[in-house]
A and B are shown apart, each in its own frame.
Chain A
Amino acid sequence: MMQTYDLQANSLRELNAALHAQANDTNQTSWEIVNPRGSHAVAVGLDAPIEVSVKGSTGYYTAGMNKQATVHVHGSAGPGVAENMMSGTVVIEGDASQYAGATGHGGLLVIKGNASSRCGISMKGINIVVHGNVGHMSAFMAQSGNLVVCGDAGDALGDSIYEARLFVRGSVKSLGADCIEKEMRPEHIEILRDLLNRAGSDAKPEEFKRYGSARQLYNFKVDNAY
Chain B
Amino acid sequence: MCGIVGLFLKDKALEPQLGALLTDMLITMTDRGPDSAGIAIYGAEDTSASKLTVQAEDPDTAFDGLADKMAAALGGKVTLTRNDTHAVLQVPAGKAEEARTALREIAPEVRAMSFGDTLEIYKEVGLPKDVAARFDIAKMSGTHGIGHTRMATESAVTTLGAHPFNTGSDQCLVHNGSLSNHNSLRRKLQREGIHIETQNDTEVGAAYLTWKMQNGATLGEALEASLEDLDGFFNFVVGTKDGFGVVRDPIACKPAVMAETDQYVAFGSEYRALVNLPGIETARVWEPEPATVYFWTHDQAPNPKKKAA
Residue A68 at the B interface, CB < 8 A? no
Min distance, Cβ B151 to any Cβ of chain A, angstroms: 16
Which candidate, B40-48, B131-139, B192-200, B282-290, is the interface stretch facing chain A?
Answer: B282-290
Task: Please measure, in the bound complex, the distance between the C-alpha atom of A181 and the C-alpha atom of B257, giving whole angstroms.
Answer: 33
Report yes or no: A57 in contact with B255, Cβ–Cβ below 8 A.
Answer: no
- Which residue in B250, B271, B275, B287 is a CB contact (below 8 Å) of A116? B287
Report yes or no: A57 in contact with B287, Cβ–Cβ below 8 A.
Answer: no
Report yes or no: A97 in contact with B287, Cβ–Cβ below 8 A.
Answer: yes
- Which residue in B250, B252, B272, B287 is a CB contact (below 8 Å) of A38? B272
Task: Please measure, in the bound complex, the distance between the C-alpha atom of A79 and the C-alpha atom of B286, giving whole angstroms.
Answer: 13
Residue B270 at the A interface, CB < 8 A? yes
Chain B residues with Cβ under 8 A from A79's Cβ? 255
Residue B253 at the A interface, CB < 8 A? yes
- Which residue in B250, B252, B272, B290 is a CB contact (below 8 Å) of A59? B272
Residue A37 at the B interface, CB < 8 A? yes
Question: B276-306: contact bitstring with A at CB < 8 Å (1 yes, 0 no)?
Answer: 0000000001110010000000000000000
Task: Please measure, in the bound complex, the distance between the C-alpha atom of A35 and the C-alpha atom of B257, giving whole angstroms.
Answer: 18
Residue A117 at the B interface, CB < 8 A? yes
Report yes or no: B255 in contact with A97, Cβ–Cβ below 8 A.
Answer: yes
Chain A residues with Cβ under 8 A from B271's Cβ? 38, 57-59, 76, 78
Report yes or no: B285 in contact with A57, Cβ–Cβ below 8 A.
Answer: yes
Report yes or no: A38 in contact with B270, Cβ–Cβ below 8 A.
Answer: yes
Residue A95 at the B interface, CB < 8 A? yes
Report yes or no: B290 in contact with A136, Cβ–Cβ below 8 A.
Answer: yes
Min distance, Cβ B178 to any Cβ of chain A, angstroms: 17
Task: Give the number of chain A interface residues (Cβ < 8 Å).
Answer: 18
Q: A38-B270, A38-B271 are in contact. Are A95 and B255 (CB under 8 A)?
A: no
Q: A57-B285, A59-B270, A95-B287 are in contact. Are A78 and B255 (CB under 8 A)?
A: yes
Chain A residues with Cβ under 8 A from B250's Cβ? 136
Chain B residues with Cβ under 8 A from A95's Cβ? 286-287
Task: Please measure, in the bound complex, the distance between the C-alpha atom of A223 and the C-alpha atom of B262, giving whole angstroms.
Answer: 62
Min distance, Cβ A10 to any Cβ of chain B, angstroms: 17
Residue A39 at the B interface, CB < 8 A? yes
Chain A residues with Cβ under 8 A from B273's Cβ? 38
Report yes or no: B270 in contact with A78, Cβ–Cβ below 8 A.
Answer: yes
Task: Please measure, in the bound complex, the distance between the C-alpha atom of A37 and the C-alpha atom of B253, giving whole angstroms.
Answer: 22
Min distance, Cβ A39 to any Cβ of chain B, angstroms: 7
Task: Please measure, in the bound complex, the distance between the C-alpha atom of A37 and the C-alpha atom of B271, giving whole angstroms.
Answer: 8
Report yes or no: A117 in contact with B252, Cβ–Cβ below 8 A.
Answer: yes
Task: Please measure, in the bound complex, the distance between the C-alpha atom of A57 and the C-alpha atom of B285, giving whole angstroms.
Answer: 10
Min distance, Cβ A220 to any Cβ of chain B, angstroms: 26
Q: A98-B255, A116-B287, A117-B290 are in contact. Are A37 and B275 (CB under 8 A)?
A: yes
Chain A residues with Cβ under 8 A from B257's Cβ? 97
Task: Please measure, in the bound complex, the distance between the C-alpha atom of A97 and the C-alpha atom of B269, giving whole angstroms.
Answer: 12
Which of A38, A97, A135: most chain B CB closer than 10 A? A38
> Can you name the residue of chain A whose Cβ is closest to the Cβ of B31?
A40
Task: Please measure, in the bound complex, the distance between the C-alpha atom of A6 and the C-alpha atom of B87, giving whole angstroms.
Answer: 44
Report yes or no: B272 in contact with A37, Cβ–Cβ below 8 A.
Answer: yes
Chain A residues with Cβ under 8 A from B290's Cβ? 117, 135-136
Interface residues in A58-109 by Cβ distance below 8 A to B read 58-60, 76, 78-79, 94-95, 97-98
Report yes or no: A38 in contact with B275, Cβ–Cβ below 8 A.
Answer: yes
Task: Please measure, in the bound complex, the distance between the C-alpha atom of A116 and the C-alpha atom of B250, giving whole angstroms.
Answer: 13
Which residues on B are within 8 Å of A, measured CB to CB? 250, 252-253, 255, 257, 270-275, 285-287, 290
User: 17 new A-B pairs (CB below 8 Å) besides A38-B274, A135-B290?
Assistant: A37-B272, A38-B270, A38-B271, A57-B285, A59-B271, A76-B271, A78-B270, A78-B271, A79-B255, A94-B285, A95-B286, A97-B257, A117-B252, A117-B253, A136-B250, A136-B252, A136-B290
- 7 residue pairs from A and B, CB less than 8 Å apart: A38-B273, A59-B270, A76-B285, A78-B270, A97-B257, A117-B253, A135-B290
